[in-house]
Amino acid sequence: MKTCCAAYSYRRELTSGAMKLEDFIETCWRLGLDGVELTAYYFESLEEDYLRRLKRLAVDYGLDIRATAVGNDFCIPDPDARAEQVKLVKKWVDVSLYLGAPILRVFAGRVPEGYSEDEAFSWAVGAFKECADYASTKGVVLALENHGGITLTSDRVVRIVEAVDSEWFRVNLDVGNYRVDPYREIEETARYAVHVHAKFLDVRPDGSDGKIDYAKILDILRKTGYKGHLSIEYEGEEDATSAVPRAAKFLKRLIGGG
């Protein structure tokens, strides 16, 4: 396994303007990580000149652009609005291809008021099928994050993956997002994972997390044969500039990479 970091970890700095994606890429190099996950929210542009600059910078620092991430919603009742979300995901498939990122993290959404979960499931599966078909022609894997809503539990995630039924549609396993029986649910979805969010919520002085047992999680991932990246996604109260470096050192030690 390798390590990377989601730009979302530095959302405060990136949103305030204290950091740009270029700075984030350099920061990940300084932390000794193997790659970066570039979240759509923080791109200044989707023009080729800008994308080319990010790609070249990652090459300079020897980092993989392991994944991109888009904030789509496929649980929208209006078919025209949902079609626009499909266009958004397809656009980010193209961006991922241009950047050389093999994975695009996607969301499903939440059941809107007045509708059933089965209806939302049907909308999402239809949209994912269309997007996965498109992604397959570009060589980009869509990775569905377990992110509440209709992906709240492992059985719901598995149900969606099996219904879409495409090798280009898999899971972005966020180890901090399951709420019912986290370690069992992580184990149930790990076999579908192509990307893992190593969530950090409460980074201790030694870099471990006060709420998540990473030794147990790594044991699960190894048993299921996961060989991809662990992408740090920090969501704690402490500033990312001090918390993420500790988390990175801890994670690298744990997997034997530093």
Whole-number percent of the chain with pLDDT over 90: 98
Nearest-CA neighbor of 193 among 224, 239, 234, 149? 224
- Res. 90: pLDDT tops 90: yes
What pLDDT, on a 0 to 100 scale, did the predictor assign at position 80? 98
Structure tokens at 73: 């919603």
Please give the mean pLDDT across all residues of the chain: 97
What pLDDT, on a 0 to 100 scale, did the predictor assign at position 216? 96
What pLDDT, on a 0 to 100 scale, did the predictor assign at position 203? 97
What pLDDT, on a 0 to 100 scale, did the predictor assign at position 202? 95
For residue 125, what are the contacts with CB-CB under 8 A and spacing of at least 6?
160, 163, 164
Query: In angstroms, rounded to a whole number, what is the distance separating the alpha carbons of residues 255 and 196?
Result: 14
Average pLDDT over residues 125-143: 98
- Res. 34: pLDDT tops 70: yes
Average pLDDT over residues 62-73: 98
Q: What pLDDT band is residue 4 in, cutting at 50, 70 and 90?
A: very high
- Res. 258: pLDDT tops 60: no
Average pLDDT over residues 151-180: 97
Structure tokens at 211: 């709420």
Q: What pLDDT band is residue 256 in, cutting at 50, 70 and 90?
A: confident
Average pLDDT over residues 146-159: 97
What pLDDT, on a 0 to 100 scale, did the predictor assign at position 45? 97
**Kindly report the CA angle at 143 between 140 and 144, in degrees rounded to 5?**
145
Assign a CATH topology to domain 2-255: TIM Barrel (3.20.20)
| Domain locations along the chain | 2-255
- Res. 257: pLDDT tops 60: no
Average pLDDT over residues 130-138: 98
- Res. 173: pLDDT tops 70: yes
What pLDDT, on a 0 to 100 scale, did the predictor assign at position 82? 98
8 A C-beta contact, residue 25 and residue 57: yes
What pLDDT, on a 0 to 100 scale, did the predictor assign at position 54? 98
Average pLDDT over residues 97-116: 97
Query: Per residue in 194-237, pLDDT tens?
Result: 999 999 999 999 999 999 999 999 999 999 999 999 999 999 99
